[in-house]
Amino acid sequence: MKKNLRNSLSVACKVMKYSMMIMTVVCSLSSMLMANTVSAQKFENATVSLSADGKTISAILAEIETKTQFKFVYNPDHLKRDVIKGKIFKNEKVKLLLQKLGYTAREEGRSIIVTRLPGLQQPGKITGKVLDEKGEPLPGATIKVVETGQVIQANIDGTYQFNLSPGTYTLEVSYISFQTKRITGIVVLEGRSTLSDIAMVAATNELKQADHHGDDQRSK
């Protein structure tokens, strides 16, 4: 009888022990879920007052961080670099403030991910000169953007310019009596100019003779 009682008490203790462990885990998970919910609610409803006049978006984000508990995460290359004019916010919701400046924000863990709203990217530029082997300009040289099909001719001083959406491009350059040249991997960033001077190489005698031979064949 005593042995059965001891066994029953032992089983009961084990059941209580496991029950306490399960309750502890459940409480911990509930606390984490509640904390995340409260955090999200805080960001959704958080307000701030500041003057954006004369500041860049990166400076504004830094100022919001000092006035709140939020930490913003973003790609600096995707932020506008121009200065904002005449915008003053008073008790404005942080999320709505960012939307008015052309950005969207979402909460991930303890950080706020900031990205540009679609369709608001500014074009970048590829600029440079087309030159011969001596550094002299080659006016009238033909420059083509392979990915878009855009074609222009170099100015009298050999300069050229393309306005392009951010991305990676290939230029193809041709000029009479010079070898056609292809430049790959030219990166265009939003609102920035990428310099790409192009030095052309004169065609060899063999190439010139082949060209003349082809012209003779076509004229017959």
Instruction: Give the domain CATH number at 49.
Output: 3.55.50.30
Output the pLDDT for position 24: 56
> Domain check: are 108 and 131 in the same one?
no
User: Which residues form the domain of 167?
Assistant: 124-204
Number of domains forming the structure of the chain: 2
Q: What DSSP character marks residue 32?
A: H
Is position 34 within any domain?
A: no
> Domain check: are 52 and 81 in the same one?
yes
Does the structure show a pLDDT above 60 at 214? no
Is position 195 within any domain?
A: yes
> Domain check: are 193 and 128 in the same one?
yes
Is position 38 within any domain?
A: no
* pTM of the complete model: 0.45
Q: Which of 132, 150, 121, 149 is nearest to 198 (CA)?
A: 132
* CA atoms of 25 and 19, how far apart (whole Å): 10
pLDDT over 70, % of the chain: 73
Longest dimension (CA), the chain: 121
Is position 22 within any domain?
A: no
Query: What's the CATH number where 169 sits?
Result: 2.60.40.1120
Strands 124-131 and 198-199: parallel
Is position 23 within any domain?
A: no
Which distant-in-sequence residues (6+ apart) come within 8 Å of 85 by Cβ? 53, 54
- Rg of the chain over Cα atoms, rounded to whole angstroms, equals 33
Is position 163 within any domain?
A: yes
Instruction: Convert the pLDDT of each residue in 121-170 to its tens digit.
Output: 678 999 999 999 999 999 999 999 999 999 999 999 999 999 998 889 99
> Domain check: are 92 and 152 in the same one?
no
> Domain check: are 158 and 182 in the same one?
yes
